[in-house]
Amino acid sequence: MHRGTATQRPRRLGATALLSAVVLTFTAGPATADLELPPLPNEEQVYPAVVPLPTPQQDPWYADPADFAAYGNGDVIRRREVQTYALGIPVPVHTTQLLFRSTDAHDNPLVTATTVLVPGIPWLGPGPRPLISYQEAIDSLGQQCNPSYTLRAGIQKEVALMGQFLSAGAAVVVTDFDGKRNTIMSPAEGRMVLDGIRAAKRAGLGLEAAPVGLWGYSGGGNSSASAAEQRQHYAPELDIKGSAQGGIPGDKVAIAPFAISGQQPQANFTGWLAILGLAREYPEFDQALQRYLTPEGKRVAADLANRCLYTAVATTLLRPVADYLTDPQAGLAAAHEALSAASFGRPENTPDMPLLMWHSTTDQLLPAELAIDEIAAAYCARGVNLRMFRVPMSEHISAEIVPELGTVAWLLAVTAGADPGPRVC
């Protein structure tokens, strides 16, 4: 095997990330002993040392246009042809990156990026080549964690699953659906997904007539579900044939007390990322959060402000949010409006496409009885075209991997025009 620089870089990065995770995990303590965070670099500092690319924060290609009024939602602002890598190995797909206009949860204009991957092999199914909108579980607060960067850098963590769609001849669009500010869990996620699809169709890539499918799990499932709920009133012209969305934090009001409690240390990061991401979208909540965070809590929040998923998990493993709030119940009350706005199941946001939803029976991060059961029941009550299954003998990660072949096959078939199968209700 060739052992040149290109293939060694991901190993160096992996070692750095692993070292960071180990040190953060074993130096983290309870709030009463948490006097100082370890002085470790975050990914924005590490990546430029091991990847020959400027991070988005340093890349002028991501800059906002001079005049937002010149662009509508989904309009392409600029484009570039790039190379996709997987652990230093070039992926043989045509890759175009598009910077486009979208809107946040308050209808303010914003700019974000999407990456369109078109395989060199033909689509052998009926009709035109489909476009799969693949939502990665970004789950990060730093812009360098978004797929428009990680696909070019060769460190995108879900590229193998994307490859299943590409190997079938489908095109794939992967949007930075948390935007340049990484507003995790915001309702704007769905808007950016839908505008990313619009941009892919408007970019002259031969996808104008492509039928569309949505796929995502966990954080990616959240944005897919958000897009499915908002399509009919935000982007009614898009012909979305179905959405495969698993492991969703659907009812964020119900799951928030569990996520901040610390009763499951692995879930601590979900509480931290959700409140910090939503605070970026909702200024009133951000002001309240600053009142309730302890000095140590503000230090943790500042440390997380530009981190990617894995080091965020490590640094919060023994740091439940509740231990860093002066009044956890009051903090939850202050977050209620933002959590409610980001939750699913509202009548005005009823999905109008076939859905495939799945969830672990024993999900340690997002227990089904808190996260999704009420949402599924609400969908059933309103006649949503839904099929739902539980993954037995699993936890959050394995519940994505075990059924992935089936969920990919379902979405490809439905997007090509096949019957989605019997409904669950």
> pLDDT-derived band of residue 290, with 50, 70 and 90 as boundaries?
very high
Task: Write down the pLDDT at residue 49.
Answer: 81
> pLDDT-derived band of residue 370, with 50, 70 and 90 as boundaries?
very high
Task: Write down the pLDDT at residue 358.
Answer: 98
Helices (H), 36-157: 43-50, 147-153
Task: Write down the pLDDT at residue 167.
Answer: 97
The average pLDDT across 172-178 equals: 98
Task: Write down the pLDDT at residue 425.
Answer: 85
DSSP annotation string for 334-399:
HHHHHHHHH-S--GGG---S-EEEEEETT-SSS-HHHHTHHHHHHHHHTT--EEEEEESS--TTHH
Helical pair 5-27 and 309-316, crossing angle rounded to 10 deg: 20
Task: Write down the pLDDT at residue 50.
Answer: 81
**How does pLDDT run across 100-138, given as a tens digit for each residue?**
999 999 999 999 999 999 999 999 999 999 999 999 999
The average pLDDT across 130-155 equals: 97
The average pLDDT across 73-96 equals: 97
Residue appearing with tokens 């409610």? 340
Residue type, 73: N
Task: Write down the pLDDT at residue 251.
Answer: 97
How far apart (Å, rounded) are the C-alpha atoms in residues 285 and 300?
18
Contact 317, 25 (CB under 8 A): yes
Q: End-to-end alpha-carbon separation of the chain, Å?
A: 53
User: 378-399: buried (b, 16+ CB within 10 Å) or exposed (e) per residue?
Assistant: bbeeeebbbbbeebeebebbeb
pLDDT of residue 155 exceeding 50: yes
Which contacts of 344-348 are long-range, i.e. CB under 8 A and separated by 24 or more positions? 344/225, 344/226, 344/229, 344/248, 344/250, 344/251, 344/375, 345/250, 345/251, 345/374, 345/375, 345/378, 345/379, 346/229, 347/382, 348/233
Task: Write down the pLDDT at residue 48.
Answer: 84
Average pLDDT taken over every residue of the chain = 91
Q: In Å, how far from its chain's centre is CA 37? A: 27
The pTM (predicted TM-score) of the whole model is 0.91
Sorted by where each begins, the domain ranges of the chain are: 5-28+252-341
> pLDDT-derived band of residue 2, with 50, 70 and 90 as boundaries?
very low
Which SS3 state, helix, strand or coil, does residue 179 take?
coil
The average pLDDT across 205-232 equals: 98
**How does pLDDT run across 230-278, given as a tens digit for each residue?**
999 999 999 999 999 999 999 999 999 999 999 999 999 999 999 999 9
Task: Write down the pLDDT at residue 99.
Answer: 98
The average pLDDT across 330-336 equals: 96
The average pLDDT across 360-370 equals: 97
Task: Write down the pLDDT at residue 34.
Answer: 52
Helical pair 268-281 and 252-261, crossing angle rounded to 10 deg: 130
Which SS3 state, helix, strand or coil, does residue 18 take?
helix
**How does pLDDT run across 16-75, given as a tens digit for each residue?**
333 343 334 333 444 444 546 556 678 988 888 888 899 999 999 999 999 999 999 999
